[in-house]
Amino acid sequence: MTATRLAVLGSPIRHSLSPALHSAAYDVLGLDWSYGVAEVGTGGLPGFLEGLDGDWRGLSLTMPLKQEVLPLLDTRSDLVGLTGAANTVRLDGGTVRGWNTDVAGITEAFRHHDVRSLLTVDVLGAGATALSAVAAAGVLGARDIEIAVRNPARAADAVAMGERLGIAMRLRGLDEAPTRTPDAVVSTLPNGVETALRYTPDQQRDAVLFDVAYHPGPPREPRSGSTRAVG
C-alpha cells in the first residue's frame, strides 16, 4: 500500500470520474499515490475524518458535503469564506484546510471556450455548486443572475452572496419559463432531476450551456434550439 492516500467523498459517488482523472495525473507526475472513492452521506463526514490515519493527504468533496465540512475546517481560503462551500480538503497532520476550486473550474471552462465575459446568467439549482456558479459568473462580469429553484428558501445564501458582489439577483420556479434571454445557462442540477423548464430558440440561440452533472453523452439541453456546450 502506498504511503499517501486521497479520495473523493459524497453521496451518490460511484459515478465519479475523479479516481481515474487523479490516478492518470499521478502516473504522469511519477507519484506513488492512491486516490479512491468513499460513499459518505449527510452527517457522515465527522466520523470519516476521525477514522483517517497519517497516510491521508487530501479529499475531494461533492454533494452533500461541501457545506457540511465548514465547521470541521481549521483554515479556509477566501473563496470558501465567500461561497460558504469547500470542495477540496488538505490534511496536514491534525490540521484540516479547505479550498474552493469550483469557482476557478467554472470560470476557466468558460474562458477555455473563448467566453471571456458574461452579463446575464441563469443558474439552475441552489446547492453548494450553485454558490460557486454565482461567484464564477461574478468573476466573468455578470450583473444580472436569475436562479431557478424549486424551493426559494434554499437560494437565500446564493442571493445574498450575489448581492454582496453587486449583482442583481432574482428567483423563479424551476419549472417556470425564463423571463429574459441570458448569455449563459449554468445547470447545477444533479443527475436524475427532471424539470419542465424549456428555453425557446429565440431566447437561447447565442447562449452557452454549462452542465456540472456527469452523464453519458452530450450535456443536457434544458430548452430547444442551438447552444454551445462549455462543460
What CATH number should be reported for the domain holding residue 50?
3.40.50.10860
Q: How many domains does the chain have?
A: 2
Same domain, 111 and 204: yes
Same domain, 211 and 117: yes
Same domain, 24 and 132: no
Hey, is 173 helix, strand or coil? strand
Same domain, 112 and 162: yes
Same domain, 113 and 223: yes
Instruction: Please tell me the predicted confidence (pLDDT) of residue 221.
Output: 52
Q: In the listed set 57, 78, 100, which residue is the last one of a domain according to the structure?
A: 100
Same domain, 124 and 202: yes
Same domain, 85 and 108: no
Domain span at 190: 103-229
Instruction: Please tell me the predicted confidence (pLDDT) of residue 227.
Output: 46
Residue 215 has pLDDT above 70, yes or no: no
Instruction: Please tell me the predicted confidence (pLDDT) of residue 2.
Output: 55
Same domain, 50 and 116: no
Instruction: Please tell me the predicted confidence (pLDDT) of residue 3.
Output: 81
- In the block, which residue shows the cell 452533500? 64
**What does the pLDDT average to over 58-77?**
97
Instruction: Please tell me the predicted confidence (pLDDT) of residue 180.
Output: 86
Q: Is the pTM of this model over 0.75?
A: yes
Which residues participate in catalysis according to the annotation?
66
> Residue 26: which residues within 8 A CB-CB, separation 6 or more?
32, 33, 35
Q: In the listed set 52, 83, 100, which residue is the last one of a domain according to the structure?
A: 100
29-61 pLDDT, tens digit each: 999 999 999 999 999 999 999 999 999 999 999
Handedness of CA 78, 189, 6, 230 (dihedral sign): negative
Of all residues in the chain, the percent with pLDDT exceeding 90 is 75
Q: In the listed set 100, 121, 145, which residue is the last one of a domain according to the structure?
A: 100
Q: Which residue has the higher pLDDT, 217 or 63?
A: 63
What is the average pLDDT score of the chain? Answer: 90
